Amino acid sequence: MSNFLNKSSFVLKNKQTYLKVYLAVSRKTNQALAIKVLKKDAVKQRKEVDNVMSERNVLVKSLNHPFLCKLHFSFQSTTKLYFVLDYINGGELFYHIQRERVFTETRTRFYAAQIASALGYLHSENIIYRDLKPENILLDSKGYAILTDFGLCKQNSASQSTTLTFCGTPEVSLYTHKLKFFKILFINGTWS
């Protein structure tokens, strides 16, 4: 086996405008890993630099919780940023909601408890997770919910009860703060 890696060493799992996610296998541990590759120019052009740095800073804190995606390491080239993360192979919760339409109450509680546990842990680390949606929750091979995408997180929030920045998914941001998040999901039909 060659010690050099090239594009054919990886499998493309997800492709978006400015990022790609590849499946790789560690030669040292034989563990499946996800490599998130972001184009620096596109990150700057989309004004996502702060979000990408926030995500990296949250991940670099060596978060140790079973329901949070872990960063193994990160590096960069002159044109790209690379995050080497846990590979979570069960798909987005959003996909499962669309496919199955209705979950049993037991299964819903199962996911809700895991998400609440992950959010509670982040809060204990003074991190506010501000992008909770089914697309940012992945299921692992055993069916556990894993929180991903830390780009909109607010760090060092212990001294503040609220944040002053406006962020979030555009369709959710259109609603006033008086509406409850889960009412929005029912209005849009996501979980109805």
Domain of residue 47 covers 7-86
- Supply the CATH number for residue 77's domain: 3.30.200.20
Residue 114 pLDDT exceeds 70: yes
79 and 103 part of one domain: no
CB 181 within 8 Å of CB 132: yes
Clarify whether residues 97 and 143 are in a common domain: yes
Catalytic residue chosen out of the listed positions 50, 86, 131, 140 = 131
Tokens at 4, concatenated: 């050099």
pLDDT in tens, 3-57: 445 555 455 555 555 678 888 888 888 888 999 898 999 888 888 888 888 888 7
Of 55, 86, 117, which residue constitutes the final position of a domain? 86
SS3 at position 25: strand
Our answer to whether residue 86 is catalytic in this structure is: no
Q: Is residue 144 part of a domain?
A: yes
Q: Does residue 112 carry a pLDDT above 90?
A: yes
Residue 58 has pLDDT above 70, yes or no: yes
How many angstroms from the chain centroid is the CA of residue 111? 16
Does the pLDDT of residue 187 top 90, yes or no? no
Report the distance separating Cα 158 and Cα 142, nearest Å.
34
CA gap 99, 89 in Å, rounded: 16
2 falls within a domain? no
Domain membership of residue 156 (yes or no) is yes
Residues 59, 144 share a domain: no
Residue 4: per-residue pLDDT: 46
Which distant-in-sequence residues (6+ apart) come within 8 Å of 151 by Cβ? 48, 51, 52, 54, 55, 131
Domain boundary residue, one of 56, 86, 116 = 86
82 has pLDDT over 50: yes
The band of 139, judged by pLDDT with boundaries at 50, 70 and 90, is very high
Residue 179 pLDDT > 60: no
Q: Where does a domain end: 29, 57, 86? A: 86
Structural domain count, the chain: 2
**Lateral strand order in the sheet of 71-76:** 11-15, 19-25, 32-39, 80-86, 71-76
Which of 60-69, 74-83, 154-163 shows the lowest per-residue confidence on average (mean pLDDT)?
154-163
Question: What's the whole-model pTM score?
Answer: 0.74
Beta bridge pairs of residue 21: 14, 36
